[in-house]
Amino acid sequence: MAQPFKLLDSVFLSSRRHRQNALHPLLGPLLTDCISRLYSSYRRPGTSPDDTPRWNINFNFEKGVNEVKKQFGLLKKEFMNHLKGPEGCTLEEFIWKQTRVVWEFRSQKDLDEWVVSSDAEIGGKSEAYLKLSKNNQTALLYGNLSTEVPRDGETEYSGYCAMRAKLLQGAFGRKKYYDWSNFNSLYLRVRGDGRPWMVNIYTDPYYSHQKDDLYNYFMFTRGGPYWQEVKIPFSKFFLSSRGRIQDIQHYLWLDKISTFGLTLGDKADGPFQLEIDFIGLLRDRAHTEEFAYELYKKS
């Protein structure tokens, strides 16, 4: 079980290294036909400075105006939902709600909210894909896991596949977070092939040195043709950083959830598949545990 923790850093953080620098949501539509290649100061002998490629930028004000209207529309929607109540619900509905479906998979638009990754990003040979099932009512995460380590002289561990929800964005590119403080358990309906999965929750870091912190717990699938309802209390999630379980634990802050993901890294080469109906939240009034692990005081 030690290897999945070492691979978590690659799963959730490698996307940062490969992420391109995006333009501001208002400037992006204005700048079209923009050459994205980078050029060094080196020039081949015999070429003049005038032969150096330059940026070609065209301004499209019509697209910019349409984007501004779109962003103000999103801002108006957020403001009206805020006036109505938490998350667009009335206060009474929000307080008495026992369950909530956060992600379901009924169309391609639902799949577009997720990012699928594997150790292929670091030179590995694992493959992972996400598609709708035959009845277009569930999502099927499938592929092939390979623990063969890339021969680059640096990578020591390999063999993971994962899916992760995209970050929430509000109007004008503002960061948004999930507020799960009204619930105490994670609720999933899945159908697997018997492999164990790592459930990962990433929160907004309070300090900059906490940017690599993750909360993890295990999900064991039974396999076979029957659906499985998985209920994981948030009190069971433990803190890890860069793939290592931390000695000083802290309970999960549920008011600023950044993203959620599933990781497979059980060191078993071969095909895998996980069918997901929905991922939601549950308020289990019978569960009163606040945190399952010892809390050490800092000296």
The answer to whether 217 and 233 are in contact (CB under 8 A) is no
pLDDT at 18: 43
Q: Identify the bridge partners of residue 200 per DSSP, sorted by sequence position.
A: 216, 261
pLDDT at 10: 52
**265 to 120, 131, 200, 239: CA distances (angstroms):** 13, 20, 13, 18
pLDDT at 64: 77
Q: How many CA atoms lie within 13 A of 290 on its CB side?
A: 4
pLDDT at 90: 67
How do beta strands 31-32 and 58-59 pair? Answer: antiparallel
pLDDT at 261: 96
pLDDT at 44: 40
Q: How many Cβ atoms from other residues are within 10 Å of residue 229's Cβ?
A: 10
CA distance 232 to 34: 47
pLDDT at 70: 77
pLDDT at 32: 45
Q: Quote the pTM value.
A: 0.73
**180 to 27, 34, 141, 168, 281: CA distances (angstroms):** 33, 41, 25, 14, 8
**150 to 7, 42, 122, 123: CA distances (angstroms):** 14, 33, 8, 5
Domain extents for the chain? 2-13+98-282
* pLDDT-flagged residues of the chain (< 70): 1-59, 82-96, 298-299
CATH 3.40.50.450 fits 2-13+98-282, yes or no: no
Q: Which residue has the tokens 């503002």?
A: 174
Structure tokens, 235: 């009190």
pLDDT at 3: 56
